[in-house]
Structure 1
Amino acid sequence: MSDVIELNEIEALADYQRDWSRLLEVTPGGTFFRSLEWLQVYWKHFAEDQILRVLIIRDGNQVSGIVPLCVRRIKSKFGLCRILTFPFDDWGSFYGPVSANQKTTLRTALNYIQQSRRDWDLIDLRCVDSAGFDRGSTEQALQSENISFERLLWCQTACVDLKQNWNQYLESRSTKARKTYLGSEKRVQQEGDVEYLRYRPSGVEQGESDPRWDLYDQCEEIARQSWQGRSTTGTTLSHESVSLFFRDAHERAAQVGAVDLNLLYVAGRPAAFNYNYVNAGLIYSLRMGFDPRISIKGAGCVLMGRMIKDSMQRGDRILDIGPGSLDAKKNWYTSVENSYRYVHYSATSVTAKLMQLSHQFADWYRDRFSNEAVDVRKVTDNSKLSATWR
Structure 2
Amino acid sequence: MSDVIELNETDALNDFQSDWSRLLPLTPGGTFFRSREWLQVYWKHFAADQKLRVLVVRENGEVTGIVPLCWKKIKSKFGACRILTYPFDDWGSFYGPVSADQESTLGSAFQYLQNSRRDWDLIDLRCVETDGFDGGATERAFQAENMEFEKFLWEQAMYVDLSQSWEEYLAARPRKARQTYARAERNLQAQGEIEHLRYRPRGEAFGESDPRWDLYEMCEQIAAKSWQGSSTTGTTITHANVSQFFRDTYENAVRAGAFDLNLIFLSGQPAAFSYNFVQNGLINGLRMGYNPEVSDQGLGRLLVGRILHDSMDRGDLLLDVGTGAPEAKKYWYTSVENSYRYVYYSPASSIGNVLRLSHQVASWFRDRFGSSDTSLQLDLQHQKVPVNRR
TM-score (norm 1): 0.94
- Could you tell me which amino acid in structure 2 is paired with residue 349 of structure 1? S
Partner residue, 1:148: 148
Per the alignment, residue 270 of structure 1 pairs with 270
1:377 correspondence with 2:387: yes
1:78 CA displacement: 1.3
Q: Is the 8 A contact 1:274 1:288 kept in 2?
A: yes
Q: Does 1:85 align with 2:85?
A: yes
1:293-324 superposed Cα distances (whole Å, 9 cap, x missing partner): 22332011001001000000000000000111
Alpha-carbon distance between aligned partners in 2 of 1:289 and 1:375, rounded to the nearest angstrom? 31
Deviations 1:113-157 (A, max 9, x none): 110110111110111110111111000000000000011110011
For the pair 1:184 / 2:160, whether they are aligned, the reply is no
Asked whether the 8 Å contact 2:166–2:312 carries over to 1, the reply is yes
Partner in structure 1 of residue 119 of structure 2: 119
State the one-letter code of the partner of 1:64.
T
Give deviations 1:146-189, integer Å, cap 9, x for gaps.
00001111001110000000000000000010001011110111
Matches within 5 A, 1:157-168: 157-168=157-168
- Counterparts of 2:385 and 2:337 in 1: how far apart (Å)? 18
Equivalent position of 1:235 in the other structure: 235
Deviation at 1:369, TM superposition (A): 4.1
Residue equivalent to 1:54: 54
Q: 1:334 to 1:195 in 2, by over 3 A?
A: same
Aligned to 2:131, what secondary structure does the other structure show?
coil
**Counterpart in 2 of 1:129?**
129
In structure 1, the residue matched to 2:358 is 358
Q: After the TM superposition, which residues 100-111 of structure 1 pair with which residues of structure 2 at under 5 Å, given as runs?
A: 100-111=100-111
CA deviations 1:14-62 (Å, max 9, x no partner) are 1111111111121111000000000000000011111111111111221
Q: Residue in 2 aligned with 1:32? A: 32
> For the residues of structure 1 that align with 2:57 and 2:295, how far apart are their CA atoms?
55
Code of the aligned partner of 1:95: Y
Q: How many residues in Structure 1 have an aligned counterpart in Structure 2?
A: 379
| Rounded Cα–Cα distance in structure 2 between residues aligned with 1:219 and 1:280 | 25
Deviation of residue 371 (structure 1)? 5.8
Q: Counterpart amino acid of 1:84?
A: L
- For residue 13 of structure 2, what is the aligned residue in structure 1? 13
Letter in 2 for 1:377: V
**Native 8 Å contact 1:191 1:296 kept in 2:** no
Distance 1:169 1:265 in 2: 25
Distance across 1 between alignment mates of 2:64 and 2:261 = 33
Name the structure 1 match of 2:95. Answer: 95
Partners of 2:119 and 2:368 in 1: CA distance = 36
Give the aligned partner of residue 337 of structure 1. Answer: 337
1:350-388 Cα distance to aligned partner (Å, 9 max, x none): 111222222233333344445699964159xxxxxxxxx
Residues in 1 aligned to 2:297 and 2:303: alpha-carbon distance in whole angstroms: 12
Contact 1:363 1:375 in 2 (8 A): no
Q: Do the aligned partners of residues 62 and 176 (structure 1) sit closer, same or farther apart at CA in structure 2, a change above 3 Å counting?
A: same
Distance 1:245 1:174 in 2: 38
The separation in 1 between residues aligned to 2:366 and 2:212, in whole angstroms, is 52
CA–CA distance in structure 1, aligned partners of residues 242 and 35 of structure 2: 19
Conserved in 1, the CA contact under 8 Å of 2:162 and 2:319?
Answer: yes
SS of the aligned residue for 1:197 comes to strand
Per-residue deviation, residues 77-113 of structure 1 (Å, max 9, x unmatched): 1111111011111111111110111111110110111
Q: Distance in 1 between matches of 2:142 and 2:219?
A: 42
Mapped to 1, the partners of 2:97 and 2:307 lie a distance apart of 30
Moved more, 219-228 or 137-146: 219-228
In 1, distance between residues paired with 2:233 and 2:89? 14
Gaps of 5+ in 1: 380-390
Q: Which amino acid aligns with 1:120?
A: W
Shifted more, 54-63 versus 289-298: the winner is 289-298
8 Å CA contact retained: 1:28, 1:134: yes
Counterpart CA distance in 2 for 1:185 and 1:38 is 36
Matching residue of 1:75: 75
Residue of structure 1 in register with 2:377 after alignment: none
Matching residue's letter, 1:216: Y
**Conserved in 1, the CA contact under 8 Å of 2:154 and 2:385?**
no
Stretch moving more, 13-22 or 360-369: 360-369
Calculate the aligned-residue CA RMSD, in Å: 1.6
Q: In 2, are the aligned partners of 1:290 and 1:299 still within 8 Å (CA)?
A: yes
Question: Structure 1 85/371 Cα, relative in aligned 2: closer, same or farther at 3 Å?
Answer: closer
Which structure 2 segments of 5+ residues have no match? 374-383
